[in-house]
Chains A and B, each alone.
Chain A
């Protein structure tokens, strides 16, 4: 059982609002990731982190930002939400470099009106 948690599970907000999607893991993993998934489409990497104070942008351009102040916490922030941000956001963490299992949270489904 993976110990990685995302809140909120669902969020409906208006255009222009600032939002933060939370992701926490209790496994002590150094690597953490944010993926974006549109309905019926594959997951795309938007941010990742090697550890505390490390954040990098992924392949898919995103207007979101992330921070990694503590090992267990990797929040994603949208300063001004737009309808184009409507999607599912999935957080993951991993151990053991390239050979470890990647564990996923339940996701946050965001709708921007």
Chain B
């Protein structure tokens, strides 16, 4: 069964810093990898989706990379802002279950002013 791990579990940084969130997965035969943001008590907002054939995707200050062979993905956040404070989740589709997602436990990010 695919297992997804996210490190660190929590991160606190001052405003303006660049930061990297890590995601690893045990089965490299993935279709894609998706990064989400979750605010407290809310649903998930999709940030970036990287297809298995891609190495990275960018959206604004966010850049996600994918290395299938090593089972790793990183989410890079440039020039962090207090509004970036949230939990960040990575997920990969299962091979069955209608391609439902296997999630990591997330990284809880706090950006202080």
Binding site for B on A (CB under 8 A): 2, 6, 31, 33, 35, 40-43, 45, 48-50, 56, 58-59, 88, 90, 92, 94, 97-99, 101-107, 109
How far does the alpha carbon of A50 sit from the alpha carbon of B43 in the complex, in Å? 22
**Cβ–Cβ contact B98 & A50, under 8 A:** yes
List which B43-62 residues lie within 8 A (CB) of chain A. 43-46, 49, 51
Q: Is B97 an interface residue (CB 8 A)?
A: yes
Most chain A CB neighbours (cut-off 10 Å) among B36, B43, B49, B106? B43
Q: Is B71 an interface residue (CB 8 A)?
A: no
Number of interface residues of B (CB under 8 A): 26
* A-B residue pairs in contact (CB < 8 Å), sample of 8: A41-B105, A90-B43, A92-B101, A98-B32, A98-B99, A99-B32, A99-B51, A101-B34
Contacting residues, chain A, for B44 (C-beta < 8 A): 90, 92, 104
A102-B97 contact given A41-B105, A90-B43, CB 8 Å threshold:
no
How far does the alpha carbon of A2 sit from the alpha carbon of B110 in the complex, in Å? 26
CB-based nearest A residue for B98: A48
How far does the alpha carbon of A42 sit from the alpha carbon of B105 in the complex, in Å? 4
**Cβ–Cβ contact A31 & B43, under 8 A:** no
List which B20-46 residues lie within 8 A (CB) of chain A. 31-32, 34, 36, 41-46
A108 CB to nearest B CB, Å: 10
CB-based nearest B residue for A109: B41
**Cβ–Cβ contact A59 & B97, under 8 A:** yes
A106-B42 contact given A33-B98, A98-B32, CB 8 Å threshold:
yes
Q: Is B103 an interface residue (CB 8 A)?
A: yes
